[in-house]
A and B are shown apart, each in its own frame.
Chain A
Amino acid sequence: MIDPERRARLFDEFAQTGSEAARNAIVEDHLGLAEFFARRYRNRGVSDDDLRQVSRLALVQAVDRFDPGHGVEFSTFAGRTIDGSLKRHFRDTAWAVRVPRSLQELAVAVRRASAELSLELGRAPTVDELAEATGRDADLVIEALSADQAYRADSLDQPDDAGAPRAGAASVDPGFERSETRLVLREMMNAMPERERRILELRFDEELSQGEIAERVGLSQMHVSRLLRRCFEQMRAELEA
């Protein structure tokens, strides 16, 4: 294990000269961290070799992107980078087969019918109305509504080996995580389109109800509700990436 002073020197050297030797030394010193995160996601439909490869590649990317000037420990930064890469890998591979294609297609059809009926009725439709519009059984419509947007990292937030020592995670300061999450959320809000950002600010900074927001921005409450939900789903996906 490289001591902190030597690690700092290696990062300086890598930043100034692009030294492969310095980069490799840092990577090798953190292979255990990459292994730790790869092990967390074992037995979930992705081979151990793939997990290890994704994890190590993310470690290298973390070394390349790390800026010691930000005052964050490299292990914290690398851990988040590796974890995010593994989750993205699952989202792109294993998760895609979890919902049958027929159900995915029905989910799309139900969403389309929902939008059309909302315009026609001037309110959000019920499940029975969607069942009639799509010609499918209400139970299938319920399943489609439940499956839609199902690919969040709900099953990936816990370690695979509950009893395994959490060496890598132990270096992540929860206080830092919390404050950083807040900053990231604010940044995500700021990156939203003008209308969505305004609605989020009215909801969370001014604590207005959806009805009050609707009056302020000149939209229906239903529209505000949908925009808020879409923002949340986008923010959750970005936070987990």
Chain B
Amino acid sequence: MTTDSVRIAFPGGSRHLRLCRTAAVSLGADLGLDVDELDDLRLAVGEAIAWLRSGVADDDEIIVGLAVVDDGVEVEGLAPTSSGDGQIDDLIEAILGATVDHHELTAADGERRIRLRKTRSAEPVR
């Protein structure tokens, strides 16, 4: 069940990746992720969105949705691709594989999509 969500849309030429990181950390903190889990999430969001926007023109819109779903934070992103072949370098794969519980990065039909999920490992400390 979705309890909290944020939707961010920004042009490819802008520098608003930090907004996405802040939103992810904020949702994760509300969910009770600890600092290590928040760091993992921050790193993963940075990697995935950097890939998402690497083929985007300055005036194309990138849309990122972040939501708390059950005991985890889910991040989905979509961007039109104007250049590049959507290759995913080994370091991105290594980082996402080690920092989030699920990740999908796809490039097809002129679009790039990302999907991440970071699940809380323990009951939150209150």
Contact = CB atoms under 8 A, between A and B. Distances in A.
Interface of A: 98, 114, 118, 123-130, 138-139, 142-143, 145-150, 152-155, 157-160, 162-163, 166, 174, 177-178, 181-182, 185, 203-204, 210, 222, 225-226, 228-229, 232-233, 235-236, 239
Contacts of B38: 127, 145
Contacts of B17: 154-155
B66 interface: no
B125 A162 contact: no
A129 B125 contact: yes
B125 A222 contact: no
B74 interface: no
Given A155-B17, A158-B54, A229-B99, A127 B35 contact: yes
A87 to B, nearest CB: 12
Interface of B: 12-13, 15, 17-18, 21-22, 24-26, 29, 32-40, 42-43, 46-47, 49-50, 53-60, 82-83, 85, 87, 89-91, 94-95, 98-99, 124-125
Nearest to A166: B83
A233 B55 CA distance: 22
Given A127-B38, A154-B49, A158-B53, A146 B18 contact: yes
Contacts of A182: 90
A232 B25 contact: no
Nearest to B59: A162
A228 B85 contact: no
Given A124-B34, A178-B87, A181-B89, A145 B50 contact: no
A154 B50 contact: yes
Main secondary structure of the interface of A (DSSP, over half): helix
B124 A126 contact: yes
Given A178-B87, A182-B90, A123 B34 contact: yes
B39 A145 contact: yes
Given A126-B32, A143-B22, A226-B36, A154 B90 contact: no
A122 to B, nearest CB: 12
Contact of A158 (B29, B37, B55, B90): B55
Shortest Cβ-Cβ A-B pairs, 3 listed: A162-B57, A124-B34, A127-B29
Given A158-B53, A158-B58, A163-B57, 17 more contacts: A114-B35, A125-B34, A125-B35, A126-B32, A142-B25, A142-B26, A145-B38, A146-B18, A146-B21, A152-B50, A155-B15, A162-B12, A162-B59, A162-B83, A185-B90, A232-B98, A235-B91
Contact of B35 (A130, A139, A210): A130
Contacts of B85: 174
Most chain B CB within a 10 A radius of its CB, from A126, A203, A233: A126
